[in-house]
Every structure is written in C-alpha cells, then in structure tokens.
Amino acid sequence: MIEFNPWPHDLAQHYRKAGYWIDQPLSHILDAQLAANPQAEALVCGSRRLSYADLDRQSRNLAARLALCGLGHGDTALVQLPNVAEFFVTFFALLRIGVAPVNALFSHRRLELTEYARQIQPRVVIAAREHELFRDDTFADELRAGGVAQLLLLGEDDPERSLTHWLTHGGDLPDGAGPTPADQVAFFQLSGGSTGTPKLIPRTHNDYDYSIRASVGICGVTSATRFLCALPAAHNFTMSSPGTLGVFHAGGAVVMAPSPEPLSCFEIVAREHVTMVPLVPPAVALWLRAVEEDPSRRTMLGSLDLMLVGGASFAEATARRVPELLGCRLQQVFGMAEGLVNYTRLDDPAEVIFTMQGRPISPDDEIRIVDEDGDDVPDGTPGALATRGPYTFRGYYRSPEHNAQAFDSEGFYYSGDVVVRQGGNLRVVGRIKDQINRGGEKIAAEEIENLLVRFPDITHAALVAAPDAHLGEKSCAFLVLREGAGKLSPPTLRRYLLELGVAEYKLPDRFRFLPELPLTAVGKIDKRRLRDSLATETA
Ligand code: OOB
C-alpha cells in the first residue's frame, strides 16, 4: 500500500457515520453508469464519441494488460496526457487495478516530471508523443534506466508501446486484480506549492469520492449536463469541483477542448450543446471580450447554463458581467488540491455570488481564520485560513518536515490564504504563502529562486508577484549579480531556465537587477518591499 497520513480513527468513524465516506472505490463511478446507462454518451473528443460502455471496455483492456505485466496495489504511475479522452480511460484503468497515478500537467517539462518520478518511483509512465519530452526516446530511456518498467505513448506506432493499442486490445482482468481499499490512496494531486520541490497530495477513494458526490449536488450536475473540459484535465478544479468525475458520477457527458481559447470553445459549445464550464478568471475575461467584440457570438452560447469560476482572484466587476454578457449563471469556487472546496450556492443572492468565493462543501469542514498569534479573528476581519475535514488531506507525500509547518497539532492544514468570513461565506483577500498565482497557474517562488541562483553570475534571487491586468499576477525576478559580472538579458535567463527543463509558465515575466536585496528586521528578504516597488512601477 502507498503510505499516507491517515485521519485519526474517531474522525474517520464520524465521517463514515455521517455518510461522507461510503467505502467505495472511485472506479465505482464508472461501474454505476455501466449498470444504469451503458449507451449514454460519456465523452466527446473532437470527432470521437465514447459511451460509458466504451469508456468501461477501454479502461478494462488497459487495466488487464497492465495487471498481466504485474502491476497492482502499491504501484504508482506517472501520467502526462493532454485534454483527450485517453486521460479518463487511463485514470479509470489505473484505479481498477489499484495503481496510483500522478497526473502531471501537459505544460510540465523535464524538471517537474523528473521530480515526480523521483518521489513516486513509477512502474509505468503513460505520456504523449506530441509532448516535446517524448518526441524522441531520450527521456523515455532515462525513465527506463531509472526503473520504469512500462512506457506507453499516445501517438506511437509500435503496438508494444502504443497506448491506443493497449486500450483497444486487452481482455479480462486477471483474478485478484482490483482497486485498492477505499480508505487507501487512489491517486496523487499536485500541490501548487511554495517550496523548492513540488509536493504531492495523496487522495483516498473515500475522501475524493465524497468531495465529488457533494459537489454534484451543490452545482446541480445531472445526466443532462454537458460539461466543457477546457482547463487542464488533471487539475483538481477540472476533475472534481464538480469536475469531469462529477459529471461521470451523474451520468452526463464531458466534452473535451484543447484550451479555453474562446472562439474554438464557442464553436464546441454550440455544436455539442454544452451546459456547464469551469474557467479561471483570465479565460473568463477572454470569453467576455470575444462577445463584446462581436455580440452575435452570444448566440453560440445559447445552451450554456452555468459557468464556474475559480483558481485565482476574480474581480467583482468581471463577475457581474458574466450573466449579463454570456447569458449564463455564475458560481464562484475557491478550492485547493489539498482538499477544501468552497462554492457560492446556486440560490445565493446575486450580491453573494458576485462578491464572495463561497462556503465549504461539508457541514464537517472545520474552518479557522486566525491572526498572527494563532487566535481566531471575528467575522469581517482578515486572517489566515486553516481547515480540516472529510476530504482535506492530512499530509504531503513523504514530507514530514514540511508537514510539521503546514499543519498544527490538531491536524488543521494552513492553506496560506488570507480570507474574510461574512455571513458564512469566505472572500479571499490575500496570501501568506510564497507563491505567485499567475491566472490560476501556481508558481512556488522558492523553486524558481533555487534555479536562478544556480546561474554562475547570480548571487541572490527573489521571485515576487507583480500585478497584471489580464492574469491578476505575473512573476518578477529580482536578481543580484556577482561583482564584475556583465549584463544579463531576460532572453538569456529564460533560455537558461528552459534548458534546465522547467515549465514555461514558471519563467519570470520580468527581471529587475539590484545591487542588493532589501532585508526585513530579522534578516529575511523583504518581499513586501519588492512587491510594493513593482506596484508603484505599474501605477
Ligand atoms: C485550485 O487548486 P490549486 O491547488 O491549484 O490552488 C489552490 C490555491 C488556493 O489556496 C488559493 O490560493 C487559490 O489557489 N485559489 C483562489 C481561488 N481558488 C483557488 N484564490 C482566489 N479566489 C479563488 N476563487 O485552484 C482549485 C481547486 C479546486 C477548485 C477550484 C480551484
């Protein structure tokens, strides 16, 4: 079994008694639809259409062959697929035989994948030839040398390594193969992070399934829902809030889009009668602009009933324009891959929907909002958010030191967000964690700083958020150079980081060079001053 930090026994018992944890594996989502509605449409991916029976058969084929290779409980997989049907077929296949995947984002590159592989030591890697890392076999060979037994690629011709071949040629699961027990790790979510190395979040069947089932009710997902998956399929928001898995749970259809780019999405919405879409704020802004530019485009969105917006701060003024311009309802979502998800409710007053980020899913989500001394603050006063509950994890994978900082002795997780509670709803007003939220994409400052100081001429580096009209935040690297070092240009530095293999969204948008970095009274880098200097620059 895969190690993780379990919930204390008494809480676990309570979560079961309350009906949150129902001791069913996540693969049950598919089993239930196969029994109830095998011919209903589950997935639309370009011109391909998969029924629940198709999804089931393909995932069984892959599961059977992987099981025959000896994969099973306790094993892990590293998966990196774009927004295509195979993402879900693969996910369910791995669940069926109890192999826990890390679903890397398609934008991740060598550095991220190598780090995930280091942490989970995968037996199988499932990726796509269209990704630069897998265009030739260099990286694949490295993975194999590191202990990966099986590598399957989407877009591969060789049947031995072709994911498509394995999905279409399989058979029955060997005796003894099956999902892990529901109180065990089903897969890993990715943390947005604030540390030097990206952290993994073990999610159990029980906890994740509860967050999905409850979200389905809160967001009104039904078998009539047609859900546009345009954000990265692996992200927690896209997967479970209520997400693609929520749609499968309700027997609806998931329609894939390669990106949230408005014009191509509008055509898909019109053609496939999409009713629901989750988006991050910058994508909403693009959708709004597309309709403003040409109001006739609004007719393409006629079927759209609900837009969920989350992942980063959403300006009230933009929120108000969603129903007005796009003709659909709005639901705000404030969630995290670690667990806790808040929603405005569909029947909340407009004022709440436009100005708040919602309230927790569960009556047993415990929320604390505390000041710098750790004391609870009254409603209306900003404070740091801490939480524990039936679907909030209890520890990052194999990270005892970091866990000691991120959790208190009672098991509350400190998310690093500054929030205000009003009338039971939360509003996100700031952040304590050292992270840049680039339009929903999270960048851990320390990770990039560590890479920058490896550059020969750089002695100190500090990455901070710079306000940005479109993305909310962009990143700015403040650098101190070695004495006598020549000028460094931003393209040189970006090329250097790219060569190290870091994902492009983590490249600093701006660079500033200083003779030294400002320090606080206790001698830490004064990031607030750096941020303030950028704010005045922008103003
Ligand atoms: C979602 O998950 P992550 O893990 O990528 O990022 C979580 C962090 C939060 O701690 C917060 O800092 C920020 O993203 N965030 C928001 C927000 N929603 C998330 N900040 C302001 N307003 C919001 N509405 O981003 C995520 C996971 C599940 C559902 C939705 C989002």
- pLDDT single digits (tens) 115-170: 999 999 999 999 999 999 999 999 999 999 999 999 999 999 999 999 999 999 98
- Per the structure block, which two tokens stand in for 229? 């998956």
**Spatial separation of the C-alpha atoms in residues 383 and 381, rounded to whole Å:** 6
State which ligand 1 atom lies nearest to the alpha carbon of 433: 12
Give the rounded distance of the alpha carbon of 470 from its chain centre: 20
Residue whose CA is at the smallest distance from ligand 1 atom 2: 336
Give the rounded distance of the alpha carbon of 196 from its chain centre: 18
Tell how far the Cα of 204 is from the centroid of ligand 1, in angstroms: 20
Is the pLDDT assigned to residue 445 strictly greater than 70? yes
Task: Please check whether residues 352 and 449 belong to one and the same domain.
Answer: no
Task: Please check whether residues 350 and 477 belong to one and the same domain.
Answer: no
Tell how far the Cα of 150 is from the centroid of ligand 1, in angstroms: 34
**Spatial separation of the C-alpha atoms in residues 418 and 427, rounded to whole Å:** 9
Whether the CB of 241 sits within 6 Å of ligand 1: yes
Alpha helices in 69-184 (DSSP H): 85-96, 110-120, 138-145, 163-168
Is the pLDDT higher at 172 or at 134? Answer: 134
**Spatial separation of the C-alpha atoms in residues 304 and 313, rounded to whole Å:** 23
pLDDT at 536: 81
In a domain, 439, yes or no: yes
Tell how far the Cα of 334 is from the centroid of ligand 1, in angstroms: 5
The owner of tokens 């692996």 is 234
Peptide bond just before 242 cis, omega within 30 deg: yes
Task: Please check whether residues 474 and 397 belong to one and the same domain.
Answer: no
Whether the CB of 343 sits within 6 Å of ligand 1: no
Domain end (from 407, 430, 453): 430
Report CA-CA distances (Å) from 411 to 193, 210, 230: 19, 19, 35
**Spatial separation of the C-alpha atoms in residues 339 and 394, rounded to whole Å:** 10
**Spatial separation of the C-alpha atoms in residues 90 and 250, rounded to whole Å:** 20
Q: Write the DSSP symbol of residue 504.
A: G
Task: Please check whether residues 270 and 394 belong to one and the same domain.
Answer: yes
Quote the domain boundaries for residue 495: 435-538
H helix or E strand, kind and range, residue 76: strand 76-79
Mean pLDDT of 55-65: 97
Tell how far the Cα of 12 is from the centroid of ligand 1, in angstroms: 26
The owner of tokens 């700083």 is 449
In a domain, 342, yes or no: yes
Tell how far the Cα of 203 is from the centroid of ligand 1, in angstroms: 17
- Per the structure block, which two tokens stand in for 344? 């405005």
pLDDT in tens, 301-326: 999 999 999 999 999 999 999 999 99
Q: What share of the chain is helix, strand, coil (3-state, %, to 5)?
A: 35, 25, 40
Domain count, the chain: 3
Report CA-CA distances (Å) from 367 to 237, 238, 312, 343: 20, 24, 20, 14
pLDDT in tens, 269-291: 999 999 999 999 999 999 999 99
Is the pLDDT assigned to residue 23 strictly greater than 70? yes
Is the pLDDT assigned to residue 195 strictly greater than 90? no
Beta bridge partners of 279: 309
- Per the structure block, which two tokens stand in for 297? 């485009």
For residue 269, give the CATH number of its domain.
3.40.50.12780
Task: Please check whether residues 244 and 324 belong to one and the same domain.
Answer: yes
Residue whose CA is at the smallest distance from ligand 1 atom 20: 312
**Mean pLDDT rounded to a whole number for the chain:** 97
**Side-chain half-sphere CA neighbours of 152 within 13 A:** 23
Q: Does the predicted TM-score (pTM) go above 0.95?
A: yes
**Spatial separation of the C-alpha atoms in residues 74 and 214, rounded to whole Å:** 28
State which ligand 1 atom lies nearest to the alpha carbon of 385: 10
Ligand 1 probe mutation, 107, 428, 441, most atoms within 8 A of CB: 428
In a domain, 210, yes or no: no
For the beta carbon of residue 177, count every other beta carbon within 10 angstroms. 18
Mean pLDDT of 170-190: 95
In a domain, 510, yes or no: yes
Whether the CB of 311 sits within 6 Å of ligand 1: yes
Task: Please check whether residues 265 and 380 belong to one and the same domain.
Answer: yes
Task: Please check whether residues 291 and 146 belong to one and the same domain.
Answer: no
Ligand 1 probe mutation, 189, 237, 354, most atoms within 8 A of CB: 237
Q: Regarding beta strands 329-336 and 306-310, do their DSSP bridges make them parallel or antiparallel, or are they unpaired? A: parallel
Tell how far the Cα of 486 is from the centroid of ligand 1, in angstroms: 40
**Spatial separation of the C-alpha atoms in residues 280 and 267, rounded to whole Å:** 19
Task: Please check whether residues 481 and 357 belong to one and the same domain.
Answer: no
Task: Please check whether residues 60 and 162 belong to one and the same domain.
Answer: yes
Task: Please check whether residues 85 and 137 belong to one and the same domain.
Answer: yes
Tell how far the Cα of 512 is from the centroid of ligand 1, in angstroms: 28
Task: Please check whether residues 387 and 449 belong to one and the same domain.
Answer: no
Whether the CB of 406 sits within 6 Å of ligand 1: no
One-letter amino acid at 249 equals H
In a domain, 7, yes or no: no
Whether the CB of 442 sits within 6 Å of ligand 1: yes
pLDDT at 432: 96
Whether the CB of 336 sits within 6 Å of ligand 1: yes
Ligand 1 probe mutation, 336, 419, 427, most atoms within 8 A of CB: 336
> Phi/psi at 236 (nearest 5 deg)?
-55, -40
Tell how far the Cα of 313 is from the centroid of ligand 1, in angstroms: 9
**Spatial separation of the C-alpha atoms in residues 154 and 161, rounded to whole Å:** 9
For residue 505, give the CATH number of its domain.
3.30.300.30
SS3 assignment, position 51: strand
Domain end (from 163, 178, 193): 178
Task: Please check whether residues 59 and 82 belong to one and the same domain.
Answer: yes
Residue (of 246, 211, 506, 446) closest to 337 by Cα position: 211
Domain end (from 410, 430, 450): 430
